[in-house]
Structure 1
Amino acid sequence: MNSLAHSLDSSGALIDLNHVQKSYDGKTLIIKDLNLSIAQGEFLTLLGASGSGKTTTLMMLAGFETPTRGEIRMMGKPIQNVPAHRRGMGMVFQNYALFPHMTVAENLAYPLKMRGLNRIEVQSKVKRAIEMVQLHDMQQRRPTELSGGQQQRVALARAMVFEPQVILMDEPLGALDKNLREHMQYEIKQLHRRLGVTVVYVTHDQGEALTMSDRVAVFHQGDIAQIGDPVSLYEHPENAYVATFIGENNVLRGSLVARHGHEVEIALDAGFEARGMGVTMPIGASKKVELLIRPENIRLSPINQNSYQATLADRVYLGDHLRIHLKLDNDDTLIVKTANDEAIKGLNNGQRIGFSWRPEDARVFAQG
């Protein structure tokens, strides 16, 4: 994918990245040709697998890395040659990066003193930051005396204490356990809403991205595969990579039979014909295609003329739902998520069962 222009009108953006490239060895491009606009006050998440370019992009925004080519602008002014400490951006790292010999209050005061604020201003802003993250009784404790969640709150407060326009977060919740992680996701999002600060957040966790973000940029091999709000990415993926990376999808291969507008008919290798939406598939696309259908969009039913057929291979009890494994006639497995109800409990492994989906719930792409 070449030169990507994404969503926002750059004239109204707080930050613009224009044709940005990054190489560490002069040969391999870690970031290929990135065009991205970030709006004032939005929560933008850079989502991707390890090595996709998301963290490199964040480091270039922060000023810890310099683009090989291209330009980064903030409020219309180039900043790619501005030192990190002069960009007015707060930074939160995964390992918190707190000073262990300093108290909470001293950690928060440090960036203010470095900016030359007087003692009264420092005290006022530290007090406000402590109230913001609800650490009222812990300002004299050192980081080693705090839990992981409390340390993360201090790191957040330190990033916000000098009232930056932008806060950059690099996998900030990666070291926390599941319950605390989910709690901190909620707290960060509430802080964002209350303060109206612009947040650029890096994660490899798709659930975290969908939960917290106004928009998500899905990175893949140094490019943005798709950018949009969480609902658009989940329900209307523009390519097979995004469809499989965001959420879960069954992938069924086959050959294109016919097109009816955006709806396409496919002869699947599993031995039956099915329909799905080929919205982003060019008219002259390869006859070899793949149909992607999410487990929650498949409906089980008695075998009839409107259903496909498979063999019930297994089911996994997950409390609020069942995960059903269907064996297709070519031995492919189809995963179905369904309610844990009495009708399903009465089925036996090895039994033939009907299933179906609405064409608008399936996405069809040319095989890569």
Structure 2
Amino acid sequence: MNSAAHSPSSLIDLTHVQKSYDGKTLVIKDLNLSIAKGEFLTLLGASGSGKTTTLMMLAGFETPTRGEIRMAGKPIQNVPAHKRGMGMVFQNYALFPHMTVSENLAYPLKMRGLDRSTIETKVKRAIDMVQLHDMQLRRPSELSGGQQQRVALARAMVFEPQVILMDEPLGALDKNLREHMQYEIKQLHRSLGVTVVYVTHDQGEALTMSDRVAVFHQGDIAQIGAPTTLYEHPENAYVATFIGENNVLHGQLKGRQGEQVDVALNAGLNTRGVAVGALGATGQDIQLLIRPEKVRLCAIGPSSYQATLADRVYLGDHIRVHLKLSNGDTLIVKTANDQSINALRNGQPVGFTWNPEDARVFTAR
């Protein structure tokens, strides 16, 4: 699926864009994507899915094999990168090592022929923006990773571009600093109103920062939408398993009741879930996906299912419970850290259940 209707409010439009490096294999198959002015759009996907190639075509470092890229209604696929007016932030920062912070920030302004007074004003504003006071005279080697990333951000923003492109900008940072920089980038986006196109393979980062996320898969967009839509209402099994965590249980379709279907799982469970896509006839092989936090432990009874406790993993604020089903499949349950869970013993039979509206049923693949 390749969904992204054109909108009059869009700033950037990619229409039927294809990209091949060898003239045979399409790394981007038929991309249609509209990016609204002022939005934070993340291109999310595994390695080789096409997300970075798409960003490089937007930046002007790659040229589409076919199709058109427009910005504010004007074709830009043949416009050189330095004339597109887009800021770029790379994972490796790409700072000039021999230049100070101020000189790094002034460089793109000098290239645009601005006068000295204007450059000084804009550099000071950019330094204030990323809170790097007293760092102006330091060189990149004298800065921490987080400080270097701030300089790279400031340099991308210093000439006030309409669009900022970010290619895995936080990939080299440790977890705590990465989370802090996610917050800072989002706050800058909100305060400046600039359009951001952000590439990452980190689903948590995409969910945290984005207005919309485009999930790339094998050169196509598998689904595009708000983070909550992708997480709660995936349109296909790939998105459901790529965004967040899911238990995948296999079985057969038994019947339909409106939006929901009855299924018989190979683990011996007769249950129900929400049908997604065309499922075919009764007896069709299906896969049911249920998120660990949607499964509830309960007393064994007529309205619950039964499994054997295989393991518990203590994670501080919650516990991951591993249940073994009758056919040997494992079901992961994410539950609050409380005494009743800690009292359970491995090998003990336990009850569990879920709401049918929380389960998604897809054709088996």
Fold match by TM threshold 0.5? yes
Measured in 1, the distance between the counterparts of 2:258 and 2:77 equals 46
TM-score, normalised with respect to structure 2: 0.98
2:327 match = 330
* 1:201-221 Cα shifts (integer Å, max 9, x gaps): 000000000000000000000
Q: 2:3–2:223: 8 Å Cα contact kept in structure 1?
A: no
Q: Which residue of 2 aligns with 1:73?
A: 70
Asked whether the 8 Å contact 1:266–1:273 carries over to 2, the reply is: yes
State yes or no: 1:117 paired with 2:130. Answer: no
Percent identity over the alignment is 79
Q: Cα deviations across residues 213-264 of structure 1 (Å, max 9, x unaligned)?
A: 0000000000000000000000111111101100000000000000111101
Instruction: State how many pairs are aligned.
Output: 365
Misfit runs of 4+, over 3 Å: 281-286
Alignment of 1:186-201 (within 5 A): 186-201=183-198
- What runs of 5+ residues in structure 1 fail to find an aligned partner? none
Cα distance in 1 for partners of 2:279, 2:181 equals 42
Match of 2:18 in 1: 21
Give TM-score, length-normalised by structure 1: 0.98
Cα separation, 1, equivalents of 2:134 and 2:278: 58
Q: Deviations over 1:76-129 (max 9, x none)?
A: 000000000000000000000000000000000000000111111111111110
Of the three residues 20, 38, 41, the one matched with 2:38 is: 41
Match of 1:130 in 2: 127
Residue deviations 1:287-324, cap 9 Å, x none?
01000000000011111010011001111111111110
RMSD: 1.1
Query: Which of the residues 248, 251, 260 maps onto 1:263?
Result: 260
Q: How far apart are 1:280 and its partner, in Å?
A: 2.7
**Relative to structure 2, which stretch is displaced further, 165-174 or 348-357?**
348-357
Q: State yes or no: 1:235 paired with 2:232.
A: yes
2:347 to 347, 350, 358: 350
- Asked if 1 retains the 8 angstrom alpha-carbon contact of 2:13 and 2:35, the reply is yes
* Distance in 1 of aligned mates of 2:358 and 2:48: 31
Cα deviation, residue 283, structure 1? 5.1
Q: Deviations over 1:250-281 (max 9, x none)?
A: 00000000011110111100012111100333
Rounded to whole Å, the distance in 2 between the matches of 1:5 and 1:276 is: 25
Q: Which amino acid aligns with 1:22?
A: K
Aligned position for 1:171:
168
Secondary structure of residue in 2 paired with 1:137: coil
Partner of 1:5 in structure 2?
A: 3
Structure 2 residue identity aligned to 1:26? G
Assess, with a 3 A threshold, how the Cα gap between structure 1 residues 156 and 56 changes in structure 2: closer, same or farther: same
175, 200, 204: which one aligns with 2:201: 204
Structure 2 Cα separation of the partners of residues 269 and 71 of structure 1: 48
> Please, which runs of 5 or more residues in structure 2 have no aligned partner?
none
> For 1:235 and 1:286, how far apart are their aligned partners in 2?
27
Q: CA deviation at 1:11?
A: 2.2
User: Distance between the aligned counterparts of 2:35 and 2:314, measured in 1?
Assistant: 42
Cα distance, 1:13 vs structure 2: 0.4
